[in-house]
Structure 1
Amino acid sequence: MTLDRAVLAFAGAMIFLSVALTLWVSPHFVWFTLFIGANLMQSAFTGFCPAAMVMRRLGLRPGCAF
C-alpha cells in the first residue's frame, strides 16, 4: 500500500468513526467531522498532511501526492 492510499483510507475511517460518534455518543462530535474535512481541504491545497508525515516514518512507500 502506498502512502497516498493509506492516507485516504485513514481519512475515510476517521470520517466513519466521527459520524458514528456523532450519532451514538454526542452531537458535538460533528466538530471532529468538520476538523477532518478542513484538514483534507488544506492538504489538497498545500500538500501538508500530518498523517502522511507519521505514516512515512512508519515506512510506507511514498506515492505521488505526498
Structure 2
Amino acid sequence: MNINECLRLIAGVMILLSLYLAIIFSINWLWFTAFIGVNLLQSSLTKWCPMMAILKKLGVKN
C-alpha cells in the first residue's frame, strides 16, 4: 500500500468514525468531520498534508 492509498484510507475511516460518533454521542463530533474536510481542502491547495509527513516518518513508501 502506497502513501496515497494510506492517506485516503485514513481520511475515509476518520470521516466515518466521526459521523458514527456524532450519531451515537454528540452532534459536536461533526466539528471533527469539518476539520478533516478543511485539511483535505488545504492540502489540495498547498500540496502539503500533515498526515503525509507523519506517514513518511512511519516509513510508508511513496
Q: TM-score range by the shorter chain?
A: over 0.9
Structure-2 separation of matches of 1:60 and 1:29: 29
Which residue of 2 is the match for residue 2 of structure 1? Answer: 2
Does residue 21 of the first structure (1) align with residue 17 of the second (2)? Answer: no
Q: State how far apart, in whole Å, the 1-side matches of 2:61 and 2:44 are.
A: 20
Quote the residue 1:57 is aligned against: 57
The number of residues matched between the two structures is 62
Q: Which string of whole-angstrom CA distances, capped at 9 and with x for unpartnered residues, describes residues 24-52 of structure 1?
A: 01011111100000000111111111111
TM-score (norm 1): 0.90
TM-score using structure 2 length: 0.95
Kindly report the root-mean-square deviation, in angstroms, between the aligned alpha carbons of the 2 structures.
0.6
Unmatched runs of 5 consecutive residues or more in structure 1: none
Bigger RCO (CA 8 Å, 6+ sep): 1
Q: Which runs of 5+ in 2 are unaligned?
A: none
2:31 paired with 1:31 = yes
